[in-house]
Chains A and B, each alone.
Chain A
Amino acid sequence: MPLVTRFDTPASLRDLPAGHAFYDIWHAYLAGGLITTPGSGTGTGEFFDPSEINVDPVAERLLVWMGFPRTQFVTHRDDRRTAFVNADASVATRNLQNEYCEWFVKRNAAGLITKVTVVTETPEYWQRLWDADRSRVVALYRALVSPAVVEADLRSGGPGSAYNKFNRWNTTDGIVHFIQSINTLNAALGLAAGSVATGAARDGYEMPAVAPTSVDPRVKLDIGALSRKGLSITLREPIGIYIVGYDDTGWTKPSGAPVDNYWRIVRGSAGMVLRLEYEVPPGSGFVVGDIRIGGRRIEWGGQIAEHVTCMIGGIAGLRTPR
């Protein structure tokens, strides 16, 4: 029997009632996107579709990476301020937030940050949710971003037109899911599947450098190493890109006292977070922008993303007869 008989939604979200056709659509999307791919070179394993292939799992591995774009840190390796400014800047496209982690910064009239929202939700999910029940999408936007959202805001044109992922509530006025061009579940699946081909590399030192991001080499090296062991590899259910950790060690209130726990999981669950908010409760007398990290005031959302750890889960095993 295959490892997975039906792919679940990320973090097992239930945005629509149980039994809704949306869940079949989501399963079909993943089943179509997960293509069994043989390894090559020193990678003698394979990437497999767990809804089709029988594999006895022998290992699980969580692949973790920093939410803030490494590209910005290494491009501005002597100037972290510029790295943070740049990564926060392009709210209309978030094109520099290329680690499967995007964020939105809310500021008060004084320019101080009041809330940072970090997401790892994919456009594929929201597109299919729109196709299944656009009124539900509107309701979710209202709950997540603003009560002012109306359906017309989310469309590309008149009634019945397509979902516009670059709508104002997912760009300049808020965030719901990824918009950066390569932050898609499809790209993540492709990256994972392609990583079983390892060329002539015998170990991590011999793997090509690939992208300057954290996530690409992370996936390439980990899946490549599993492939070199002849293992069959797939992504762990429920398949998704998650926030697995967030660290506020050494963050202080204006008084100098350690911060309390201001993180809030809005979608997903602990260990499989899809939407994470950082906001000081009203009445505390200060806001996020008054908090200091290691003595430095929070001025950009990227400072929070630097302390967010993202993850996809991998499963490796050996093929078994049907």
Chain B
Amino acid sequence: MTTKKMAAAGVVHVAPLEMTIKPQALTAQFNNLIGVIGKLEPVFQKGVLIPGLGGDPAAEIPGAEPEPVYDTKARANIQGNTIPGFNKDHQQFLFFRLGNVRRAKAWLRWIAPLISSMEDVLAWVRAYRALRKRLGAEPPMCATWINIAFSCRAIELLTSRADAAAFGDQSFRQGLAARSTHLGDPTDRAHPGHRNRWCIGGPKNEADIIVIVAADDEPDLTTMANLIKAQAAASGLRLLFEQRGDNLPGPLHGHEHFGFKDGVSQPGVRGKVSTAPGDFITPRYIDHVADLERARIFAKPGQPLVWPGQFLLGERRQNTEHLYASAPPASNFPRWAALGSYLVCRRLRQDVPTFWKFAISAAAALGIPPEKFASMLVGRWPSGAPIMRTPGADNAALAGDEWANNHFIFDDNTRASSLRAIPGYAGDTYTQATADMLGTVCPHFAHIRKSNPRDIATDLGKPHDSLLRMILRRGIPFGPPIVGIKRPSPGLLRKERGLMFLCYGATIEDQFELITRRWVNSPIQPNVGGHDPILGQADQYGVRARVIDFPTAGGPRRLRIKNEWVIPTGGGYFFSPPIEAIAGVLAA
């Protein structure tokens, strides 16, 4: 072989040189840094009138494939945390084991009328927005919502073996514990994240039912959760575990425990609330006259539209070869399960000091600020501002601009979005992202690039395929925060904290598991460059070290990550049925 210039230019592929990170006593640096992380509060634009629900004829694209209409009956049948999502500050997750089936059915008949539907949530949001418009301020409105989902075992007990077997998603039928190590969870039984040690969802403590209670008001939450628990106990259900979740307080609202804004990017579900022109579930902001191609694909900049069958069984779903055409619905489920969704729950403990101490050490070795380093691991600054659009520093105004903070692609220059008129909105005036095909700005390993590849090719091909993988995330933190607290006390540090990760989809295997296994956990997929250092796990022959190839001016340097800061501690695979089926089928 004679590849003289390639060798001279250092481009013959070998693993990047590994950089040694010296362990240091970092308590002082950590104490100083942790107090300021996440303090940069997004600046939300004032005076912007977000178009309300009810339809805007101008949002209709002439000649576009009709989207399904979810009338009042359908909306009343779809659980509200699936679409549009509860998004409440306080939530309680109750995990039950079935006892006597007949008594459990009585409890299901009791709880069925309490289940909050898509209609309930959308109506509340509509009323909330109307009142906010009249008041010019956040209205004092509170709601308490409940959803429910069932394991495959529970469905078998409550219906029949045949019905349970008719669920086509094999991972659901197996359950999370059976799939745990395939998701990269520890194989070592001594590891705190081993499934045998989980507080819920391990081989010996799998839940049959999860009840999600969500409220604006904490006492309301407690009252409702207590009522459900009491009724369940009286019906022979055993409460295996419960977990409280709360949005972080103050400027950290919407952030996870490492201090980063979470849940910025969600797919937009196609479909309409009524036959009124433009009355879409997901409001459309792209001007189709100015940019037809983007308007066909995106609801708002960076929010791709996805056919509802990717989340609701029995609905038209994404075409595997097309960005905006639909494909026929799936049929591999019992008929009564139509409009239901699979629900993945993962209780993830976060070790915040370990994460930030690694960031401090690695950043020191690389000669960059730790906040910048950590933001490159995530792909966003703590405020939520995307590093692709503001590589040098966090930007509170960009973070607070929902039409700009998710508008970027990776492989080519991002062109300005063509937005429909939004009263009071001055437009996306921030510098647009420039092409970063080599991952020097937002590295290939960055969490948001791994889990949402956007425009780039992946190991499965085209972006069309990536739309098949999207999930509706409904997570919420648990435990007290330490970010934003200078010199957190030893007692506070010892307390457990993490994320209740929840997501909905029409398959578990081809959505949540695929993202986890093929992308987040792989150092070479969807692109070569390392594991996702936030959520990724490695467990090959017991070795759990991960690597990232960090971009530097002299080429990538390999960093080996020996510590873990996200540890699985529980969860389950569930099915969130259509509401009618709770009393009509499961409790029948």
Contacts and interface: CB of A to CB of B under 8 A. Distances in A.
B344 to A, nearest CB: 14
B2 A5 contact: yes
A281 interface: no
A295 B523 CA distance: 23
A62 B13 contact: yes
B442 to A, nearest CB: 15
A261 B181 CA distance: 16
Interface stretch (B33-41, B318-326, B479-487): B318-326
A205 B527 contact: no
Contacts of B451: none
B552 interface: no
A60 B11 contact: yes
DSSP majority for the B interface? loop
Contacts of A237: 1, 3, 6
B3 A309 contact: no
A295 B179 contact: yes
Interface string B432-460: 00010110000000000000001111111
A317 B106 CA distance: 70
Contact of B5 (A57, A66, A295): A57
Contact of A64 (B3, B179, B413, B527): B527
Contacts of B540: 248-249
Contacts of A251: 182
Contacts of A64: 459, 524-528
A199 B60 CA distance: 28
A87 interface: no
Interface residues of A, number: 70
B461 A65 contact: yes
B47 interface: no
A172 to B, nearest CB: 30
Interface stretch (B76-84, B130-138, B361-369, B462-470): B462-470
B585 interface: no
A214 B459 contact: yes
A294 B179 contact: yes
Interface stretch (A70-78, A104-112, A138-146, A180-188): A70-78
A3 interface: yes
Contact of B461 (A202, A213, A248): A213
A301 to B, nearest CB: 19
B330 interface: yes
A238 interface: yes
A168 interface: no
Most buried by B among A12, A209, A236: A209
A218 B461 contact: yes
A211 B355 CA distance: 42
Nearest to B539: A249
A74 to B, nearest CB: 4
Contact of A204 (B11, B332, B455, B527): B455
Contact of B409 (A5, A58, A204, A229): A204
B455 A215 contact: no
A45 interface: no
A59 interface: yes
Interface in A43-97: 55-66, 70, 74, 77-80
A295 B182 contact: yes
Contacts of A55: 5
Nearest to A231: B437
Interface in B507-532: 509-510, 517-518, 521-528
Contacts of A218: 457-459, 461-462
Contacts of B541: 258, 260-261
Most buried by A among B179, B332, B454, B524: B524
Given A203-B411, A249-B181, A250-B179, A77 B510 contact: yes
A295 B321 CA distance: 31
Given A80-B170, A203-B412, A217-B462, A229 B437 contact: yes
A143 B178 CA distance: 40
A293 interface: yes
A258 B542 contact: yes
A294 B182 contact: yes
Nearest to B457: A221
A196 interface: no
Contact of B182 (A6, A56, A214, A250): A250
A63 B458 CA distance: 9
A210 B409 CA distance: 21
Interface in B9-29: 9, 11-13
Contacts of B454: 204
A228 B524 contact: no
B438 A77 contact: no
Given A207-B462, A258-B187, A258-B541, A74 B320 contact: yes
B100 interface: no
A205 B463 contact: yes
Contacts of B523: 245
B563 interface: no
Given A60-B11, A249-B538, A225 B1 contact: no
A247 interface: yes
Nearest to A211: B461
Given A205-B323, A245-B522, 10 more contacts: A3-B3, A59-B438, A70-B465, A218-B461, A245-B525, A249-B539, A249-B540, A258-B541, A295-B179, A309-B459
Q: Which 3 A-B pairs have the closest CB atoms?
A: A250-B182, A294-B182, A204-B455
Interface of B: 1-6, 9, 11-13, 168, 170-171, 174, 178-184, 187, 293-294, 297, 320-323, 330-332, 409, 411-413, 415, 435, 437-438, 454-465, 509-510, 517-518, 521-528, 538-542
22 contacts: A8-B1, A59-B437, A61-B437, A65-B459, A79-B332, A80-B509, A204-B462, A205-B297, A209-B462, A213-B461, A216-B461, A217-B457, A220-B457, A221-B456, A225-B435, A228-B412, A244-B524, A245-B523, A250-B183, A258-B539, A258-B542, A294-B171
